[in-house]
Structure 1
């Protein structure tokens, strides 16, 4: 009898993707997507997946969630799901289980992503042994530093999407006052997540004395059509994103590269050069030259978080 496969899952606010993995390799043909609202909790989804696959038990189970994990317990605020180790064991029969933040899972995937799934934004040196940084811009915004140690890889969790947004100009200060009305504080996520793009557009309309709104998808479509205000919104977004990722680069010194993930980051990949992401990233005064030490890429692998979960299990991760 061969070795049992592991079960890996990537749990977002709307959908959960589940797959089987042999060691560090995800079986791409095993990936299934479930709508979260159709199920009372993760246990139900995992049990349904395994039943339909005809698998009674797994060698291990690791899930990545879009939210904080504390002491091995994750609570999905938008879904009121609580996920812990005993729940994963009940659902999968696995003795070894683990719960990661989704950015941590992406960090564990680095080095196991095909080269053609990495789109360069800023070229530069990226030695494999050096620290790295994963930055997610999608429904939310967050980052996770990745460190190689003699004891293995460490990917630290954070909630840096909720720190203060970058402010460089008087207009940025007005923007901060504009967005802080959402919940009393102008956080990074308020301008760099998907809904942040919508707030930037509303801010520019307000500044022009013509209040109005558009959805993020409509703004991206209008940019592609050459709409001037949509392009101004996109340029502002890229400047703020470059500034914030530059801040994170100086905080963590990821000489091994910075890796962008998430729907918004991927949607803006064709616009980074046109809107001068590099200039915003390196706009650090006397440290501008130092910023050339950091390469930036966009991860275009939809299954990277699943791969990270598989790698984490295979390397002995648990908890």
Structure 2
């Protein structure tokens, strides 16, 4: 196997994808997906992968983690895993090393994602080549990261905005927030806009315990209760995306990633995403400057890791 290879990995709250990359190209035949529950930590999964593929010498290694990263140390929010650059170097023998937040990795992939892998929810107006963009993850958790293209290269600062307070200016949002505070002590955006948040909204509205996939299946079958759940989810998502758009001014577009973003895509139009997004009082007309798209590329975070490595010096 060609020696100019890097290892890239995307560690979500539920599963981990690992692959080899040459330049910014992820090699499709090298991609493996592992349930996180099958291992006691990321080193176990990476050793398993390296044993399976035996890629030989690696020039670089980059992992994206679903959680905060500080000084090269990543903590996965929804499982008790911690990982750092030194561990990555020991495992892989590579000299170009990086640990990113998963939204940072997605941000580094923008511009390398085919248009066919994007579902446009709101049209993207013309924008300057270096206009800021925003990546928003709606899956096992919730987070967002701005993307800035500068003269010195691309800069994607990390964020943990999924853990800020849930909006409650509309009565239905306030009622949901009060329920979440009662049960969890605090109402964060992630408590509602995530896979488990979808089930919490359903329980709040209908007093019924139901799996998220089951609710989506009922939504597809035309069930009114499931539609009511999806409506509150979609409108709350629109409100939060509008808030984030005003904070970051992503004239280059907003890009949604994650399983829940994809799951509700067919319903965002009829259930009022655009209206909730634009409901900003005297700034409502300003909001039509931001396009929104869903990223359908499962390997985007891996591509972002590879792109980031390509621009790193050997350290």
Per the TM superposition, whether the score is higher than 0.5 is: yes
1:218 is displaced (CA, Å) by 1.3
1:162 is displaced (CA, Å) by 0.9
Q: 2:248 — aligned with what?
A: 252
**Partner Cα distance (1:318, 1:278) in 2:** 45
1:55-74 paired onto structure 2 within 5 Å: 55-74=55-74
1:293-304 paired onto structure 2 within 5 Å: 293-304=289-300
Is 146-155 or 53-62 further displaced after alignment?
53-62
**Partner Cα distance (1:236, 1:172) in 2:** 8
Is 67-76 or 238-247 further displaced after alignment?
67-76
**Partner Cα distance (2:176, 2:13) in 1:** 27
Gap regions ≥5 residues in structure 2:
none
2:231 is aligned, of 228, 231, 235, to: 235
**Partner Cα distance (2:77, 2:111) in 1:** 31
1:108 is displaced (CA, Å) by 0.2
1:183 is displaced (CA, Å) by 2.3
**Partner Cα distance (1:220, 1:202) in 2:** 14
Secondary structure (helix, strand or coil) at the match of 1:108 reads helix
Whether the 8 Å CA contact 2:3–2:57 is kept in 1: the answer is: no
Whether the 8 Å CA contact 1:98–1:317 is kept in 2: the answer is: no
Secondary structure (helix, strand or coil) at the match of 1:182 reads helix
Q: 1:145 — aligned with what?
A: 146
**Partner Cα distance (2:44, 2:86) in 1:** 14
Secondary structure (helix, strand or coil) at the match of 1:243 reads helix
Q: CA RMSD in A?
A: 1.6
Is 155-164 or 72-81 further displaced after alignment?
72-81
Secondary structure (helix, strand or coil) at the match of 1:202 reads helix
* Compared CA separation, residues 317 and 69, structure 1 to 2 (3 A): farther
2:280 is aligned, of 284, 305, 314, to: 284
1:126 is displaced (CA, Å) by 4.8
1:48 is displaced (CA, Å) by 2.6
TM-score, length of structure 1 as denominator length:
0.94
* Compared CA separation, residues 318 and 274, structure 1 to 2 (3 A): farther
**Partner Cα distance (1:237, 1:21) in 2:** 36
1:102-181 paired onto structure 2 within 5 Å: 102-127=102-127, 128-181=129-182
Deviations, residues 47-70 of structure 1 (Å, cap 9, x unaligned): 332232222320000000111111
After TM superposition, which residue ranges in structure 1, 4 or more long, deviate above 3 angstroms?
A: none
